[in-house]
Structure formats: structure tokens, C-alpha cells
A and B are shown apart, each in its own frame.
Chain A
Amino acid sequence: MSNTVMDKPPVNSPLPPTTLKQPRLPRWAPVGIALVSVGLGVGLGLVAGWESRVQWGLIAALLYLLITYVLTTTIEGKRQAKDRFATSLVWTSFLVAIVPLASLIWETIARGSKVVDGYFLTHSMFGVPNMSEGGGIYHALIGTLQQVGIATLISAPIGLLTAIYLVEYGTGKLAKAVTFFVDVMTGIPSIVAGLFVLSFWIIILDFGYSGFAGAMALSILMMPIVVRSTEEMLKLVPNELREASYALGVPKWRTILKVVLPTAIGGITTGVMLAVARIAGETAPVMLLVFGSPSINTNPFEGEQSSLPYYIFEQWGAGNDPSYDRAWGAALVLIALVMILNLAARGIARWKAPKTGR
């Protein structure tokens, strides 16, 4: 019994000796580095006399990434350096992405809030010359609400039923063809949809310009979005729920109506609202089909109307200070409208979503 095992030389492992404790940067390090690099960026910009703030920001961002990487490599090691580098890259990208969005909203609120008041919301542009103050968006607001409302009434049911067909019934060639054409429709430019309705409804069938004609073009744009989002939501409903319902002796149509749709209703509502938000900002079909009008027309089926995007286009084109102000005001109202719709959709989605609480 010799002690051969003990006599063996220790194995030369390529791995470093295992210690659990390693030097770490303090918790405030990322914030500190960010402050330092912003300071450096601003300082450099001032010293060199660069005018552009964008340049300052980019230099600060690059410095931040560089300092983080170098500092962590020397103190914490390679792996941690990569980790921190990736984290700071994510943060920097997030900030870069948020800048245009925030400045857009800031600009619109700053310029638009000057003109938006009760008078602006309740009066039309009838008899108001472009270069003078006053006037409002009441006619455009009515136009937008009516056109978008009619477009939603047309395309939401058709889109919903199409999606139900594709997910629950469709098999084989017809379903494939429908999916293909829905994909193609998603890519239709709004001006093409407008031209189609113009040539069909106004030139061939000889109807006049109206909000309804615009709504038809808008519904062409909206339908594929509704189909796509509803389809995805219906696919998320587990098959087990459908089978559970069939096993109770419930017919397929009732299963879809009472089990599948309620389970997916939150996502479907959100999808429809996103589609509404998308078409609320369309200008081209309105220019072609609704024609624009400075006076109030509450009948969407006859005569010219206006809409918020068209109003913005028109006022900006007028080219003087009061009309610029009105354009910004209308832009603010449009953004607020879309945002309210989105919030409402989220509220409905949360209220209707499957409940998991005890």
C-alpha cells in the first residue's frame, strides 16, 4: 500500500485558480462615467467651438462606451468588460432612440399649446383668411372622427372575420391565397388606395367627393393590419381550450364566439386601435377623395370634408405665421387623439384580459 496517489504532481490546469471574490467597480460607476463623459463632450465641444449639440452628444456617447470598456477591462477583467460594454451600448441606443421622439412631442406641445383652446376646438376655418389669426379645427376634427369611424366600422368586422377564417377554418389553397393577398395589401401605399377609390367610386360610378369615399380608401389600408394582428392573437389561444370546449359538446362556432374570442379580445382590441392610429394620420386619400373644405360638414356621405392631417398640410402650405401656429395646434390635437385612443385600448385590453388572480 504505497501512497502513489499523493505522490503525483498536481495537474496543471489552464484555468486560473478559483477565487470567488474579484475586484468590482462601485455601484455608482456607470452614473459617474456617464457624468464624466457628458462633461467631457460638452467641454470638448465648447473648446473646439463646435456649434452642433448633436455632435456634443455623440462624442459624449462614444466617450462613455470607451471609458466604460477600458475601465472595466483594467479593474474587473475581460468578461465583465464585455458585459458592461453591452449594457452601456443598450442604454446609449435607448437614449438615441428616445431623443427624436421626445423632441418631437416637446416641439409639438410647445408650439401647439399656444393655439389650442376652447375656441380653436369648436370653430371652423369658414371665412377666416389664411394670414389672419383665429379660426379652428372643428370641421377637421369632425371629418377625422367620421372618416376614421366609418373606416373602422367597415374594416374591423371584415378583418376580424377574415382572421377567424384563416385561423379556425382555412386550410389549403384558398387560405394561402388570402394570406398572400393580405400581405400584399399591407404594402399598398395610401396614395394608391386613394387613386383606386377615386377611379372606381368617383370617376366610374360618378359619386361626388365625400368623407365616405375617403373612409373607403382608409379601410383598404386598415383591413390588412386588423387581419394580421387578429390572426396572431387567435393563434396564441391554446388549442387545449378549443378541445376542452368541443369535448363539452359545444359546436365550433359557439366555441369561437364564447371561448376563443373572449380569450383573445384584449390583443384584438389593441390591434384594431393600432390600425386606427395608423390611418388617423393619412393625408393622401383625403386630398384625393374628400377634397378638403374650410366649413363644417357633418354629413360624411355628401360634400367635401376636411380632416386633421389634411388641415395640417393645408395650413402649412399657406405659409404665414398664424397658419403655421394652426398647423402645430392641429398636430397636437391629432397626437393627443391617437394617444387617447391607445390608452383606451390598453384599458379595454387590461379589463378584458384573462384573469389570473386568486
Chain B
Amino acid sequence: MAKRIDVSGLTAFYGSHRAIDDISMTVEPRSVTAFIGPSGCGKSTYLRTLNRMHEVTPGGRVEGKVMLDGESLYGPGVDPVAVRRTIGMVFQRPNPFPTMSIYDNVAAGLKLNGLTKKSELDTVVERSLRGANLWNEVKDRLNKPGSGLSGGQQQRLCIARAIAVEPQVLLMDEPCSALDPISTLAIEDLIGELKDQFTIVIVTHNMQQAARVSDRTAFFNLAAIGQPGKLIEIDDTERIFSNPSVQATEDYISGRFG
């Protein structure tokens, strides 16, 4: 199920503006990799280049290589739709489809990709909702609109929706930044369970969260406002938080900067 991502020399642009510069790293399968760094350093942009969502933004453009188990994501003849089917994404703000019920939200990815058999859908919806620890809370109101759930439940609904299409990799862009501590805990537990099946990459501003959930941590920084963001270092989480090899990383995680 899970696949390895190899990135080499990746540079992303918005029009002529260089947002991230020359990033190379390896994301191990069946592990959680956390991206930390100050706002505007290009973490989210970088995350979005990993499933070709960056080019959805007008003017978005990428140079460099991203390999998924040896297969290039940006090679000629690669369909971005197929890439996104393989590499799922959960966004910062919960965004369930407002016109659809809870059931339809989870089934959306499958239905929109042509799977319509009711019995199969039922199985996948239940499995995904159980996988997102949401089944017990919503099993009696699957036909109610998804926007009626609380923020934390909506975010778990979005995770269920993302894992329903069985991606190889799950990208999470600050999935807990709009949530209270209890919902955050629920999602962190969920990430711990999901990493048995998926390769997970998570962007977070919460250092403790990175320390709690991730196996490896990457620190991004930018030289100045308007300069492109760069990868400073990537290492085992334990090492990054105890004895990082770059001074800037230590300054950032201990709160000494500027």
C-alpha cells in the first residue's frame, strides 16, 4: 500500500516568484514525516507539489523531480488526476462538500470515479469512517448533511473521505490548526493508526505535535521575506528535537529567533 517518495532538486514558482528552492529529501513509507518552519517558508507549497496540487493555483509551476517508488510524478504522459488518486490530501480547514450527506461525502471519491455498487460503497464507507474514528458518532445519521458536524468531526470526515479512495500517501496540511485540543488528540491518535497503512506527511505549526506524531521531521526556513523557502535539515524527530545539526533548527524549536 504505502510508497516511498524521493524528491530531488525541487523548485516551485508562483508566476515568476520562486516560492521554494532546490529541495531534496526522501519520505519513508509507513512512517510519519512532519514539516515544520515559520509561516511563508513554503511548507504548504512544497506539500502541494507532492500530489500536483500546486499547479491548480494560477501561475503555479514546478521544476525538479518527484519520484514515487521510482515513478516520476512530473514525467511526460503522467496524468495529474491519477497522481492525486494515489496521493491523497487533507486540508487545513475542514471542507466537506456542502450539498452531500455524510455518507455521500465519504463515498464522493469513489462515486466520482465511477464506483456505484451500493453494497461495495457501504463497505468502504463504514471501513473509512471506522478508520477515521468517526463511525460511532455518525452511524445513525449518515444521511444528514456533513456540514452539520462539529469542526473536529468534519475534519475526521475529510480524513475518511481521503482514505476511502485508498491512496498510497496521505498529505496533511495543518489538519489540526482549526481544532480544539480534544479533537486534535483524536486526529493525532488517528495518524498513529493510519501510519501502519499509509505514508503520511504532515505540515504543522505545533512543535509538540510534530514531536508527538512524527518519525522524521524536516525543518524549513527562509532567509528573508520574499526569498524562497529552503529545506534546512531533515532527520529523525528525536534527533531534531534533542540535538539538531544546524543551529537555526535549534533556535527555531527552542523559540530563539530573530
Chain A interface (Cβ < 8 Å from any Cβ of B): 171, 238, 240-251, 254-255, 258-259, 262-263, 352, 354-358
Separation of A87 and B83 alpha carbons in the complex (Å): 58
Spot the interface stretch: B31-39, B143-151, B186-194, B247-255: B143-151
* A247 contacts B99, C-beta separation under 8 Å: no
Q: Which residues of A contact B83 (CB under 8 A)?
A: 249
Report which of B88, B147, B165 forms a contact with A355, defined as CB distance below 8 A.
Answer: B147
* B99 contacts A249, C-beta separation under 8 Å: no
Separation of A97 and B178 alpha carbons in the complex (Å): 46
Report which of A240, A245, A263, A356 forms a contact with B108, defined as CB distance below 8 A.
Answer: A245
* A244 contacts B158, C-beta separation under 8 Å: yes
Contacts known (A247-B88, A248-B162, A250-B81); A357 close to B56, Cβ less than 8 A? no
* A248 contacts B161, C-beta separation under 8 Å: yes
Q: Which residues of B contact A356 (CB under 8 A)?
A: 98, 145, 147-148
Separation of A352 and B99 alpha carbons in the complex (Å): 8
* B148 contacts A247, C-beta separation under 8 Å: no
A348: min CB distance to chain B, Å: 14
* B89 contacts A247, C-beta separation under 8 Å: yes
Separation of A246 and B54 alpha carbons in the complex (Å): 11
Question: How would residues 198 to 227 of chain B score, 1 for a CB under 8 Å from any chain A CB and 0 otherwise?
Answer: 000000000000000000000000000000
- Whether a CB of chain A sits under 8 angstroms from the CB of B4 is no
Separation of A262 and B99 alpha carbons in the complex (Å): 7
B167: min CB distance to chain A, Å: 8
Q: Which residues of B contact A355 (CB under 8 A)?
A: 98-99, 145, 147-148
* B85 contacts A249, C-beta separation under 8 Å: yes
State the majority secondary structure of interface residues on A. helix
CB-based nearest A residue for B149: A358
* A250 contacts B109, C-beta separation under 8 Å: yes
Residue among A242, A247, A354, A355 facing the most chain B CB atoms (10 A cut-off):
A247
Contacts known (A171-B58, A243-B56, A357-B145); A248 close to B95, Cβ less than 8 A? no
Q: Which residues of A contact B111 (CB under 8 A)?
A: 258
* B53 contacts A247, C-beta separation under 8 Å: yes
Report which of B82, B144, B147 forms a contact with A249, defined as CB distance below 8 A.
Answer: B82
- Whether a CB of chain A sits under 8 angstroms from the CB of B84 is yes
Q: Which residues of A contact B95 (CB under 8 A)?
A: 238, 240-241, 243-244
Contacts known (A248-B88, A262-B99); A354 close to B147, Cβ less than 8 A? yes
Separation of A299 and B88 alpha carbons in the complex (Å): 55
20 other contacts beyond A246-B84, A357-B144, with CB at 8 A cut-off? Answer: A240-B95, A243-B91, A244-B91, A244-B95, A244-B158, A247-B53, A247-B91, A248-B84, A248-B85, A249-B113, A249-B165, A250-B81, A250-B113, A259-B97, A259-B108, A352-B99, A354-B98, A354-B147, A355-B148, A356-B148
Interface size class of B (residues with CB under 8 A): 20 to 34
Q: Which residues of B contact A354 (CB under 8 A)?
A: 98-99, 145, 147
A351: min CB distance to chain B, Å: 12
* B144 contacts A358, C-beta separation under 8 Å: yes
Q: Which residues of A contact B53 (CB under 8 A)?
A: 243, 246-247
Q: Which residues of B contact A247 (CB under 8 A)?
A: 51, 53, 84, 88-89, 91, 162
Q: Which residues of A contact B182 (CB under 8 A)?
A: none
Q: Which residues of B contact A241 (CB under 8 A)?
A: 95, 97-98
* A357 contacts B112, C-beta separation under 8 Å: no
Q: Which residues of B contact A249 (CB under 8 A)?
A: 81-86, 88, 109, 113, 165
CB-based nearest B residue for A171: B58
Separation of A171 and B60 alpha carbons in the complex (Å): 14
A-B residue pairs in contact (CB < 8 Å), sample of 25: A240-B93, A240-B95, A243-B53, A243-B89, A243-B95, A244-B161, A246-B81, A246-B84, A247-B88, A247-B162, A248-B85, A248-B162, A249-B85, A249-B165, A250-B81, A254-B112, A258-B112, A259-B99, A259-B112, A354-B99, A355-B98, A355-B147, A355-B148, A356-B98, A357-B144
Q: Which residues of A contact B162 (CB under 8 A)?
A: 247-248
* B112 contacts A263, C-beta separation under 8 Å: no
Separation of A245 and B95 alpha carbons in the complex (Å): 10
Separation of A245 and B112 alpha carbons in the complex (Å): 9
Separation of A247 and B165 alpha carbons in the complex (Å): 10
CB-based nearest A residue for B145: A355
* A357 contacts B148, C-beta separation under 8 Å: yes
Q: Which of B98-120 contact A (CB under 8 A)?
A: 98-99, 108-109, 111-113
Q: Which residues of A contact B82 (CB under 8 A)?
A: 249
Q: Which residues of A contact B161 (CB under 8 A)?
A: 244, 248
Q: Which residues of A contact B56 (CB under 8 A)?
A: 242-243, 246
* B97 contacts A244, C-beta separation under 8 Å: yes
* A248 contacts B158, C-beta separation under 8 Å: no
Separation of A259 and B109 alpha carbons in the complex (Å): 11
